[in-house]
Amino acid sequence: MSAFETATKFFHACESLEGWEGCREYVADGASFTGQCEPLADIATVEAYCEWMKGLGEGPLKGCVYEVNGSSYDEANKMAIYYATITGTHVGDGGPVPPTNKQTKTDYVYALTMNDEGKVAKMYKVWNASWTLKELGWM
């Protein structure tokens, strides 16, 4: 399997809310995570991010769905990039306030650096979290 195929399998497992259990086979030990936004400020590993996503989709945004708008692979830099949109409504328990029944449709980008074994070594998420939080009525 190519590094891009592995990255794609990881992306879909993560976005399908499989948590770490469904994602771990595609990820290098100790893979780091960076997301420069408030909800993700304390998350430093891909494992923790996968679990955060699972919790979001099983909790406040129960039933959320995603759509891939584009993807690419940069062989020279061993980086897979995914541009996607998630749609979800705050109907489940969790989140900073009781269910608002408000919906978000928000764009985001994953940039995954792959290691020499073709596994995710670093993950970066680019996301306008404040837009999402406002749409959901959380701020």
Tens digits of residue pLDDT in 106-116: 999 999 999 99
Tens digits of residue pLDDT in 62-77: 999 999 999 999 999 9
139 confidence band (pLDDT: 50, 70, 90): confident
How many domains is the chain partitioned into structurally? 1
Question: Distances from the Cα of 42 to the Cαs of 34, 37, 87, 101, 136, in angstroms?
Answer: 9, 10, 24, 27, 21
Residue 123: domain span: 3-135
At 139, is the secondary structure helix, strand, or coil? coil
Q: Is the pLDDT of residue 57 over 90?
A: yes
The CATH number for 68's domain is: 3.10.450.50
